[in-house]
Copies of this chain bind each other. A is one copy, B any other.
Amino acid sequence: MGRVLTLEESRRRQGTSLDAISDLVAPGMQRVNELILARAGSDVALIPEVATHLISSGGKRIRPMLTIAAADMCGYRGEGHVRLAASVEFMHTATLLHDDVVDESEMRRGKSAARVLWGNSASVLVGDFLLGQAFRMMVEVGSLEALDILSRAAAIIAEGEVMQLTAAKNLATTEDEYLAVIRAKTASLFSAAVEVGPVIAGASKAERAAFRSYGVNLGLAFQLIDDALDYGGNPDRLGKDLGGDLREGKITLPLLLAYRRGPDADRAFWERAVEGRGDREEDFAHALHLMRAQRAIEDTVERARHFGAVARDALAPLHDSAHKTALLEVIDFCIARST
């Protein structure tokens, strides 16, 4: 308020940061963060230890911010959105704990993954605990519609993760099949996070549909950029090494595009690389080289821009407001992460 912005700040304020939404939801998010810490608590000391390791590791909390912003935008006046936002973040955290076990990841958000520090068992079980706590908070809110949306998302996320497991190392995966995976494993939670706000605010069906569509498409864009960053990002900003997806034989769009567009002569390389049979550093370097030749990373970002544009149009029918502007900036932020 009235303060002079630094150059850095004013650059960030031009629609490529989360500042606008962060400012708007700050009061709600403070209560969300308190609730998250309280509900990650347990007399069983290992639970808060494992849970807060991940919870306090500087995640952006985009999903709960979306819940709070969408509820505020629809004029919601109660406290239910705080509980739903915390539930959404717990569902996300539980997924990360389980994902790291499934992917045998070493790092998460610039720190050792929980499974490295406390073992796979603790990661599985603390994930289960957080999922249980998420459902308890949703039940406390008492909206069966919100419960329906979030419980459906929980099943779909797991379905998406299994799809990804099934598709692992399968270079015959089509772009559509890949989109079905990320629609389930990532976009469904974004969509649910955004929709439950309007739901408890008693918004109209049309408004709910607008938010839902914004959420799905934002989630798709977010995941595509994440996949691009795994090949072309800045490791310090990402908090993890590049090339994790290739190392794990995970088929993402940059790889699919490079593989499909490339000459037959490269197929043997890709097969060896996703099977992890070659030298991993050399393979990653060569994969990047082939991706550049095929513009695979740029075009993954282009695909993300497409879904970002759909997300933007989804909100078009809603009346203009600071909240709407902030939600639109979230799209730009998600895509700008890649540049």
Number of copies: 2
The residue from B128, B138, B165 contacting A161, defined by CB atoms under 8 A apart: B128
Question: Interface size (A, Cβ < 8 Å)?
Answer: 42
| Interface presence of A203 (CB below 8 A) | no
Select from chain B the residue with minimum beta-carbon distance to A126.
Answer: B162
Given A132-B156, A133-B155, does the pair A165, B102 have CB atoms closer than 8 Å?
Answer: no
A114-173 at interface with B (beta carbon < 8 Å)? 120-122, 124-126, 128-129, 131-133, 135-136, 138-140, 142, 144, 147-148, 151-159, 161-163, 165-166
A44 within 8 A of B: yes
A102, B131: Cβ atoms closer than 8 Å: no
By the criterion CB–CB under 8 Å, are B154 and A135 in contact?
A: yes
- Contact call B46/A165, Cβ cutoff below 8 A: yes
Contacts of A159 in B (CB 8 A): 42, 44, 47, 129
Q: Does A208 contact B (CB under 8 A)?
A: no
Contact A155 B129 (CB under 8 A): yes
Whether B126 contacts A158 by the Cβ 8 Å rule is: yes
User: Which of B120, B124, B131, B166 is in CB contact (< 8 Å) with A44?
Assistant: B166
Q: Which residues of B contact A335 (CB under 8 A)?
A: none
Is residue A323 within 8 Å, beta carbon to beta carbon, of the partner chain? no
Whether B102 contacts A166 by the Cβ 8 Å rule is no
6 new A-B contacts, CB < 8 A, other than A98-B128, A125-B158, A131-B154, are A44-B166, A45-B166, A46-B165, A98-B124, A125-B162, A128-B154
